[in-house]
Amino acid sequence: MLMNFASDCCRPSKQLGALLALGCLLGCARPMLADARGDELIGQYLKESVRREAILAMEVDYQEPQKEGLHLKFTWMRRVRQGLTSHLIRLEAPPSQQGKLLLVHEKPDGGAEYLAYRPNSMLKKKVRISGARDYKYKGLTISVQELIGGELGKYAHRFKGAQQLQGIPCNLVENLLLPKFKGDSDYPRSVIYLRQDNGLLQKWELFGKSGQLEKVIHAEEIKKLQGLATVTRARVEELKKESNLTLRVKEASYKPKLKDEWFSEKYLTQKSR
């Protein structure tokens, strides 16, 4: 939900991201490191999370040692059409950030297109970017890639067995960045713990380019919203900065009336005035 929508906003992510479910499972060839079970588990996860049309009201709280905490609100709209998953993110608060818009199209081949607009700009400036980018506000950086679910279509998936996590049976899937997306993520490798009871995220470990563990995403609360199991609170630890980001789903609509025009550059242009 959010992005830096101007020339000063688009840099590879090195900080915090939030969560929810995520990337596009596609039909392109996988390297030998992938396996059918890994693909199956990620496919189920995506179907139950970010491959479901929705309008979500979200809030973010960020805390870093010895710094003032930050609070953000945004609306996240998702549309799924013929393998293309589109995300429209609109920042609602604080007032200085209100109205910023980001449109992300995740393609069936794993690629993604980003288009961001800064509202009320005299220049009506737009930014077209690709790969992992982030939203920056004061000391906070949120990776868009993580925020919309990790863009898992960029990765090969490998089943790593089962493990109990805080008494919850989970399946482990290792995700390895495909060579053609080498420059599109700060996390070449990650390990996701998926609950065996509902297929949702329980924990997600993200490893940086050095091979070291840099972030851990914890699903802290799962509730049924409109009859569907939903991760309603997740916490992201950034180990180097000792920071914590909490992401909350405040409201959810899983059968929204979405207009195709909302997910177009024309709409972003009009609403940025």
Q: What is the pTM of this model?
A: 0.81
Domains of the chain: 36-254 (2.50.20.10)
Above pLDDT 70, what percent of the chain?
Answer: 81
Burial label, 132 (beta-carbon count in 10 A; 0-12, 13-18, 19+): buried
Tokens of 136: 């920056």
pLDDT value at position 3?
37
pLDDT single digits (tens) 28-74: 344 456 799 999 999 999 998 888 999 999 999 999 998 889 999 99
Contacts 24+ apart (CB under 8 A), 52-56: 52/78, 52/80, 52/228, 52/254, 53/78, 53/79, 53/80, 53/254, 53/255, 53/256, 53/258, 54/78, 54/252, 54/253, 54/254, 54/256, 55/252, 55/253, 55/256, 55/258, 56/249, 56/251, 56/252, 56/253
* Mean pLDDT value of segment 146-170: 91
pLDDT single digits (tens) 209-238: 999 999 999 999 999 999 999 999 999 999
pLDDT value at position 272?
56
